[in-house]
Structure 1
Amino acid sequence: MSRRHRNPLTDPLHYATPQLHAGPPATYATAQRTLRGYDYVIVGAGAAGCVLANQLSEDKNISVLLLEAGGDNSKILESKIPLMFPKLFHGEHDWKYFTVEQRALASRRLYWPRGRMIGGSTSMNAMMYHHCSKSDFDEWASVYGCEGWSYDALAPYLRRMEKFTPNPARPVIDSQYRGADGKWHTGYSWLSEISDKGFVAACEEAGIPANPDVNTARGSLGVTRFQTFIDSKGQRSSMATAFLSPEVLRRSNLYVACHAQVTRVLFDTLSAEEPTAIGVELQTSRGGPRYEVHAKREVILCGGSINTPQTLLLSGIGPSKELADHRIPVVHENDAVGKNLKDHLCTTAMLCKARPGKTLDYLSSTVKALPALIQWMLFGKGPLTNNIGEAAAFIRSTDHSSPQSSENPAKDNTSGPTAPDLEIIGAPMAFIHHGEETPINGSNVFSMVPISLRPRSSGTITLQSRDAFDPPIIDPNYLSDQDNNDFKVLLAGLRVCLKLMRSPAFQKFLEPVPVDDDPSSYWWPYSSSDIDAISEADLIRWMKEKAFTLYHPVGTARMGPTSSTSVVDLECRVHGVNRLRVMDASIFPEQISGHPTAPIGALAFKLSAMIRQGAAAEMPTSAKL
């Protein structure tokens, strides 16, 4: 981005124009005179940033600047084709984060992919459309004091966002619970026979009831064919394609700047009793010139659970000792910044060797995938419209204890009696190490992935340095809870997978294989012998060597009524400062029992309505007329 940065997403005359860094502003009035002003400056064009930019800029009298550290998503083929999203990992559109060594996971550093482009992780993740459990959000209101953020408060926004397309070949969906007029396309994507008649049927044989629609107030419990955010043309419907469409980007009051790395929020500390956010400082490259942009009304951080706490810390909001260690002046002390990090951990995939032609592993071959690519390009159909995670079982671990765990079972850590703490995703391919490794000997593989949805372990995001281009220190502190409940939940998930493997419905799709006693083999612990004979120690060793993230970090700038345990108040305003808000998964008071994209969008939609309502209330009567 040059000093006069052309918006790459819209017409040549549509610019975001940050000014060269001029040192700390003396007063708010001085800043107003010297900086190019926008009413709202949104930092981060991920799920929440796209929704906020769309909704706030609907008011033609309001100017909005959206800053994104990454690039344009619109020309990235791997983002458009649903099945190709793992190809984006480790590339230029990925933040390529890694955790510190995790003691409970064989001291491994775990890879955390995060989207670094317009749309954020909604432009590169799997496309699960999931409301999660009603009690997850009711817990926010009743237990954590976040009144106004219950499921009933969010449900209208979930419906307003959505444009659901029924599929006559899938279970009937009650339209009263779903949106039909929104901008975000949802529906059913390509489904393999092994998932539909193998995995789903196996779950039902194992006593896990069918749940045709996990996106209602009834909740997620049961096995379901996943609904996705893939449109009728077979393309990803990200928050960018939905809420930053070409029509929206042509709005004269909306400005989008790519490759803009925000280095800190700027504050006026003299004109008011509390520091007031007046804009942000940014760079386009490490060591490059610093620019400033001014927010007349508010700065809204939407960087996600990693970048948002990092930006707050770099701006002088956080624990005073950490700020002092990096010689960052304290603007407001808050020990909750960067704390309460919770993520969904997977044991890794349990892999079942399938009969030839029953999975999609052949698509890893460029030659074999060519017909599927042609089909997608010509018709927007076929296996490349697959979501990888085709089906899932949502269960309560306490309902599936094994003989080995009966003396010391997992404790109930769900948000309510109809909410799960364990998910098992079924995928018609070998999803090994984020899809980076192919199955051995070119085999056909079906993956089952147990996920701990309600972890008790929590971690931190802290600064590595005061340079915004240095990634922060990510320590999820996996499996560190004192009573080892997180371990027990995942062990229950592994036991359920072993049971599903032996289901008559599933066995029709699998190759019989001999016992393999090598724990390092990707086929272990597949066995035709008694599943209960596999020891807990063997399962734990498997988990420690193979576990990985499901990409759902939350909570590092949590919402709450007081600053003693939270970072933002019930209107997402940062405690202790003026005109600064946060909206992304970092504000979650507690982890939710599923996939967070839809909830993040609904939160942002609701916040935009609150902001617009508040702005209208502050407007002089003459201006309203």
Structure 2
Amino acid sequence: MARRRPNPLHDPLEYATPQLRTGPPITYSTAQRVLRGYDYVIVGAGAAGCVLASKLSEDKNISVLLLEAGGDNTKILEAKVPLMFPKLFHTEHDWDYYTEEQPGLAARQLYWPRGRVLGGCTSLNAMMYHHCSPSDFDEWVSIHGCEGWGYHDILPYLKRMEKFTPNSSRPAIDIQKRGSLGEWHTGYAWLSEIVDKGFVPACQEAGIPPVADVNTPAGSLGVTRFQTFIDPKGQRSSFATAYLSIDVMKRPNLHVACHAHATRVLFDRITTDSPRAIGVEFQTKQGGDRFQVHAREEVILAGGAVNTPQLLLLSGIGPVGELKRHGIPVLVENPAVGENMKDHLCTTPVICKAKAGKTLDYLSSNIKAMPALLQWLLFGSGPLTSNVGEAAAFIRSTDYENLGSTSCLPKDNTSGRDAPDLEIIGAPLAFVNHGEERPIDGSSVFSLVPIGLRPHSRGTITLRSKDAFDPPIIDPKYLSDEGDNDRNVLLTGLRVCLKIMRSPAFQNFFEAVPVNDEFISSWWPFSSGNIECISDEDLIRFMKEKAFTLYHPVGSARMGPTPASSVVDLQCRVHGIRGLRIMDASVFPEQISGHPTAPIGAMAFKLSDMIKQSRGRGAQICANL
């Protein structure tokens, strides 16, 4: 089969061999291995997949195929202009998932945007650059037994990835603690006046200390102007733009195939004493022909915390009851597949009506946004380079117990004494329903969004059917924890938002809210009344009716030393399977206290080194025989 110059728009069939139609559904003969294949087949071109494909293909002796169910990212304007990312929601570039009805949230189904495009969620969502707390990763070692994945194991890769650009108008950063030679652009983007001179000082007046850099070993606690992955040209620096650059895509040993929807992993169960992954089956459309690609060394799943457990289950790996329920032959029993999922839940945004022109809501008007778009097109600057979440406060809920009633006190579930369990994002626009609801009459609105970072509630990913194109059942089980600590943490977050809202620095930017202001009163009916008299019951009711997700699901194929409670071992190899690894947020042993993009990338970078070292040891052993 002739090989053309690699290009993400290649027809994926170029890299496929028609599936043999003989034999049991999950048994394959060794004869198939002589068909056209690659050393490594990576499923999913999201955060981890892009890094793995790029780093593994640096070795010219390794051939890599990267399969992506979505399309190319390079022609999508909304994936380049930072502030336009909500326009990608509910499009062909989004898996457009919804949860099951959540009893803890007024029986609502919550929308989960997931990137279905090169770069995955790094091409779709907001661009928060955050290392999270060192103790988050050290907890993985001390409590979950994941040796080799502590903070000091991951930190070198965070630095190696990064190309940090200092900004003289932003807080002073010790650049010795930052990376400067990596492929991934980080730095400071647009900062609105209401954030810089309103929200940040208001947090300080509420007792939250400032912190210049949350991406150091000192941790995240404090209020900070967020660093982003937006490059000096004002464009999103996704993992697709960083790690699948034009030069990388020219490598003859790297192939990237879009519109290749993986349907199952292929295994050899005849010639080995334990199942061995030898390839991947995929379709280009639902109901279309099935094709397969073969992996001489390993298959690596990088589909994310939703799609990875789904593919494992479709391939016969998971709880026996779940597999039998769908008539899927059991390859390897593992009760942890699809279990232990945790997500970051945001409670009701505290909506404040700002003085005219003080926020970015005017950009929702195509006419009013034209000057800003022209500024971005000509100079790569201006308000369209805003990250929406321009600043945030990271706090410990137990430090604010005196703000609410004694019956709803939160308990400490942080990973360490310098780690938060609450984040309050300051956004200079009405980010309601993921940006889908706009202010009435062009009002200027500021949103304060409290986020529970360390939830107790555990959810699941299960199959809706054995059709790979049928979305899985996503059940986060929000606010289902015994003792209601998740609820109490978020309730404290709301109380802290009210305190920030009342600070003198912030009040300078607000105007009185008319009683008949439909948008404000529908989302924050307490804004025009005496907020000192708001009861916990009222806040809890409103929380259940309006809470939404920050879409950071993790843990559904988690890492651990034994198969009793985990899916992959400490080298990210699936327990009981040879030649199959996983690298994405699904392997997180526990939820982290912040934004996961940077940790996922660093972990993928680390795994690529582990694979290279393993290959080197194997070659040395063969040479000595």
CA distance in 2, matches of 1:384, 1:268: 51
| Other structure's SS at 1:400 match | helix
1:570 to 2:588 alignment: no
Aligned to 2:122: 122
Aligned to 1:400: 400
Shift of 1:403: 4.9
The AA in structure 2 aligned to 1:29 is T
| Other structure's SS at 2:467 match | coil
Contact 1:404 1:532 in 2 (8 A): no
For structure 1, which runs of at least 5 residues remain unmatched after alignment?
none
Q: 1:569 to 1:82 in 2, by over 3 A?
A: same
- Output one character per residue of 1:372-430: Cα deviation in whole Å (capped at 9) or x when no partner: 00000011000000000000000000111245333441000000000000000000000
Aligned to 1:31: 32
CA distance in 2, matches of 1:132, 1:425: 15
1:40 to 2:44 alignment: no
- Output one character per residue of 1:318-368: Cα deviation in whole Å (capped at 9) or x when no partner: 001110111111110000000011000001321100011100000000000
Shift of 1:541: 1.1
- Output one character per residue of 1:213-260: Cα deviation in whole Å (capped at 9) or x when no partner: 000010000000000000000000000000000100000000000000
Aligned residue runs from structure 1 range 134-149, under 5 A:
134-149=134-149
Aligned to 1:9: 7
Aligned to 2:317: 317
Aligned to 1:60: 60
TM-score, normalised to structure 1, is 0.96
The AA in structure 1 aligned to 2:443 is S
Contact 1:52 1:604 in 2 (8 A): yes
Aligned to 2:286: 286
The AA in structure 1 aligned to 2:98 is F
The AA in structure 1 aligned to 2:259 is H
Aligned to 2:598: 598
Aligned to 1:525: 526
- Output one character per residue of 1:101-157: Cα deviation in whole Å (capped at 9) or x when no partner: 000111001000000000000001100000000000000010000000000000000
Aligned to 1:300: 300
CA distance in 2, matches of 1:216, 1:304: 26
Aligned to 1:196: 196
Shift of 1:441: 2.7
Shift of 1:269: 0.8
CA distance in 2, matches of 1:321, 1:622: 42
CA distance in 1, matches of 2:312, 2:88: 28
| Other structure's SS at 1:146 match | coil
Shift of 1:27: 5.2
CA distance in 1, matches of 2:163, 2:200: 26
Q: 1:517 to 1:383 in 2, by over 3 A?
A: closer
- Output one character per residue of 1:493-549: Cα deviation in whole Å (capped at 9) or x when no partner: 0001111111000000011225689996224221463x3310011101111111111
Aligned to 1:21: 19
Contact 2:521 2:527 in 1 (8 A): no
Deviates more, 1:615-624 or 1:295-304: 615-624
Aligned to 1:334: 334
Aligned residue runs from structure 1 range 245-284, under 5 A:
245-284=245-284
CA distance in 1, matches of 2:296, 2:331: 20
Shift of 1:273: 1.3
Aligned to 1:425: 425
- Output one character per residue of 1:168-195: Cα deviation in whole Å (capped at 9) or x when no partner: 0001111121100000000000000000
The AA in structure 2 aligned to 1:504 is P
Shift of 1:17: 1.6
CA distance in 2, matches of 1:408, 1:100: 27
CA distance in 1, matches of 2:3, 2:93: 20
CA distance in 1, matches of 2:566, 2:9: 41
Q: 1:190 to 1:40 in 2, by over 3 A?
A: same
Contact 1:147 1:570 in 2 (8 A): yes
Aligned residue runs from structure 1 range 207-606, under 5 A:
207-514=207-514, 521-527=522-528, 529=530, 531-606=531-606
TM-score, normalised to structure 2, is 0.96
Shift of 1:20: 0.7
For structure 2, which runs of at least 5 residues remain unmatched after alignment?
none
Shift of 1:14: 11
CA distance in 2, matches of 1:408, 1:547: 18
Q: 1:5 to 1:373 in 2, by over 3 A?
A: farther
| Other structure's SS at 2:558 match | coil
| Other structure's SS at 1:39 match | strand
The AA in structure 2 aligned to 1:18 is A
The AA in structure 2 aligned to 1:401 is E
CA distance in 2, matches of 1:12, 1:345: 38
Q: 1:5 to 1:45 in 2, by over 3 A?
A: farther
For this pair of structures, how many residues does the alignment match?
620
- Output one character per residue of 1:22-49: Cα deviation in whole Å (capped at 9) or x when no partner: 135865531212x311000000000000
| Other structure's SS at 2:185 match | strand
Contact 1:157 1:602 in 2 (8 A): yes
Q: 1:12 to 1:411 in 2, by over 3 A?
A: closer
The AA in structure 1 aligned to 2:31 is T
CA distance in 2, matches of 1:62, 1:301: 18
CA RMSD in angstroms comes to 1.9
CA distance in 2, matches of 1:5, 1:289: 22
Contact 2:85 2:126 in 1 (8 A): yes
Aligned to 1:50: 50
The AA in structure 2 aligned to 1:61 is N
Q: Identity percentage over the alignment?
A: 68
Contact 2:344 2:550 in 1 (8 A): yes
Q: 1:307 to 1:5 in 2, by over 3 A?
A: farther
Q: 1:520 to 1:509 in 2, by over 3 A?
A: closer
The AA in structure 2 aligned to 1:574 is V
Q: 1:511 to 1:5 in 2, by over 3 A?
A: farther
The AA in structure 2 aligned to 1:150 is G
Runs of 4+ in 1 over 4 A off after TM superposition: 3-8, 10-16, 24-28, 514-520, 620-624
| Other structure's SS at 1:450 match | strand
The AA in structure 1 aligned to 2:33 is Q
The AA in structure 2 aligned to 1:305 is A
- Output one character per residue of 1:569-608: Cα deviation in whole Å (capped at 9) or x when no partner: 0000000110000000000000000000000000000000
Contact 1:297 1:579 in 2 (8 A): yes
Contact 2:305 2:586 in 1 (8 A): yes
Shift of 1:456: 0.2
Shift of 1:6: 7.3
